Chains A and B, each alone.
Chain A
Amino acid sequence: MSEVLTRDETGSAPRPARRRTIRLPGARTAIGAAGAVLLLALPFYVDRFWLEAGLFAMAAAIGAIGLNLLTGATGQLSMGHAFFLAVGAYGYCVFAADGGDGLTGLGLPTWLAAVLAVAVSGIAGGLFSPIAGRLRGAYLGIATLALIFIGQHVLFNARDLTGGFNGRDVPPLSLFGLTFDDRELLVAAVPFGSAEKLWYVGLLLLLGCGLFARGVLRGRPGRAMNAIRDHRIAAGVIGVPVARYRAAVFVLSSMYAGLAGVLLALVFQRTVPDYFGITLSLDYLAMIVIGGLGSVAGAVVGAVFVSLLPQLLTRYSDTLPLVSDPGMGGIAPGEAARYLYGAAVVAVVLFLPGGLVRVAARLRVKPRPGATPGEER
């Protein structure tokens, strides 16, 4: 009893800590606002290469957020993320194309096609959910490998839907009479092509997806998901329907992947089956491990890291030692990027459990111990 009482007295330290957290958001919102202005202004200043790289990173970030909900927050490994990306990308093509190129196309309005593509990814995830609900952790990872193989087989052979080996063209998105294609549109004397226009769509989607995932993670479902990851048996005993939650998270994560697939297709303007292989799934796993498991920020940071690295290396291959253009005998930029983030995964696992976002968190927390000595007294 006396121990409880003494703790009560020393525990009055939270007050200074609270004042500190009020001041912090001020600095944080300032940084956030500066970042937002920068992101909004980028299309006016940087060229197409950087915009496409950025869009690619945004699409990857959406997909990585989805995978982080499943693998990071719920502890369910998935190797099949690329499959759901493919469902989204090809689903969009099928719904939106008008059938002019001889492939199946329903000719729906493109925004509806995008929504339906995400829904179809969710349904695909739902079809797999009886398995996703029953298997845990690594076992689910092995089961989802099957999705990759089935997906690759279908992509190469269902020619009417996917165009086979050569893939198919992606119809440009059009919203409120604005078409996101390469017809140039002058905004403040800057020519806006597809990349510039899509940039804002990408930003908006990423923001929406990020906020939604954050709400889920911080709310009741997030607590249940973390409980399933940390103490599966206890989670059930506390009243969390474990199988139902696992299945639901799997569906949600598939929908995120589907949306990422749609955005990727719009950026690339062509989908090819080779892209949606097992390496893509591994890339996504690398993203969330490098960035930080279980958080939205981690997924975004990891996605930016993993998807920009090869682009940067390609861009600067002539100035970097050891890296040369593809086919020139040295290490190709793509390969070099793989080595680098392979090393990054190992380094993060060894030295930074919690990922790159932990570094930021640690820097932010650092002033604390000195400021509240009373707490530990």
Chain B
Amino acid sequence: MEEHDRVTTEATGRQAAAHATAQEAAAQATAQAAVPSGIPSLDVRDVTVRFAGLTALDAVSFTVRPGTVHALIGPNGAGKSTCFNVLSGVCRPAAGSVRLGKHELTGLPPHRIAGLGVARIFQNLALPPHATVEDCLLLGRHRLTRAGFLAAGLRLPSAAREDRRHRERVREIAAFVGLERQLDRPAGSLPYGQQKLAELARALCMEPRILLLDEPVAGMTAAERRRTAAVVAGVRDSLGISIVLVEHDMGVVMRLADAVTVLDFGRRIADGAPADVQNDPAVVRAYLGERADPEETAS
């Protein structure tokens, strides 16, 4: 717990270091005043995405309340990853809006959305195989650091100081997820579960206000699942940030989620507390097919 508290306070202090545009500075100022209580809510309103005739998302709406874990579930092809692509700016919706506090996210390029404190891990690993884990995590510090080509090339003292400070922070975050021993190993040499953890750590290195987790425990062993679920719960409890979770493992979803939105063929078919959603006939139908008896399948 002590560890977690330090993570929080450090987060506030560090965030003062960075920023170029006034907008970012403003966003940062609110973050600084606010951690952990002032995490903005994420409002997704009537988002529609079409790919050449196929409607991947059809007027989907949901709200992620500050400091909660919001799960996004549904069968394969339901539009969960598309939804994440909209939230992180990779994909522009044909209609609808996504608002983080007072910022409209649709139409912003991905790096600006990252600048507002939205971090994401990918369903398929996106770690450079040869770089060390430490370098991977330092990449997560990109938006919080300043050193440009000139400062890095000439090894200016300011760049060296910044580098040292952020390496220290990276070590703390690695310890938080349990990877401090692996920092100088190439990321590609780690077992799959640890690579997923490294990616989670990299997202945490961005000091996010909203964390988007795309299947964080997929392909993990039971022990790794427990470990990851504990880290995710720890992140929510200690950092107070909001988490949007896409996951097929219902055990993890039910254990972690405060609210669940269910998608099927790009449409929202249910939204609410985990227990309610679990018993929703529409959800059961989507997962198990037609005319199932809700009483039997809910368990």
A219 near B115 with CB under 8 A, answer no
B223 near A242 with CB under 8 A, answer no
B128 near A237 with CB under 8 A, answer no
Within 8 A of A (CB), among B204-236: 206, 221, 223-224, 226-227, 230
B152 near A226 with CB under 8 A, answer no
Bound-state CA distance A3–B193 (Å) is 11
A221 near B114 with CB under 8 A, answer no
A1 near B227 with CB under 8 A, answer yes
Nearest-CB distance from A376 to chain B (Å)?
11
Q: Which of B110, B149, B226 is most buried by chain A, counting CB atoms within 10 A of its CB? A: B149
A223 near B110 with CB under 8 A, answer no
Q: Is B286 an interface residue (CB 8 A)?
A: no
Which of B111, B126, B163 contacts A219 (CB under 8 A)?
A: B163
Bound-state CA distance A222–B155 (Å) is 13
Neighbouring B residues of A241 by C-beta, 8 Å: 109, 111
What 1/0 mask marks residues of chain A from 1 to 43 whose CB sits below 8 Å from any chain B CB?
A: 1111001100110100000000000000000000000000000
A231 near B128 with CB under 8 A, answer yes
A238 near B155 with CB under 8 A, answer no
Residue of B nearest to A213 (CB): B153
Q: Is B13 an interface residue (CB 8 A)?
A: no
Q: How many A-B residue pairs have CB under 8 A?
A: 112
Nearest-CB distance from B190 to chain A (Å)?
10
Residue of B nearest to A10 (CB): B181
Q: Is B142 an interface residue (CB 8 A)?
A: yes
Nearest-CB distance from A142 to chain B (Å)?
24
B residues with CB within 8 A of A:
88-90, 109-111, 113-115, 119-120, 122, 126-129, 131, 135, 138-140, 142-143, 145, 147-149, 151-155, 159, 163, 178, 181-182, 184, 202, 206, 221, 223-224, 226-227, 230
12 example contacts (A-B, Cβ-Cβ < 8 A) are as follows A3-B221, A7-B181, A213-B153, A215-B152, A215-B153, A215-B154, A234-B126, A236-B114, A237-B110, A238-B119, A238-B206, A239-B115
A residues with CB within 8 A of B:
1-4, 7-8, 11-12, 14, 212-213, 215-216, 218-224, 226-227, 230-231, 233-234, 236-242, 248, 252
Leading 10 A-B pairs by shortest Cβ distance = A219-B152, A236-B110, A239-B143, A239-B114, A11-B181, A234-B126, A212-B153, A231-B126, A230-B128, A215-B153
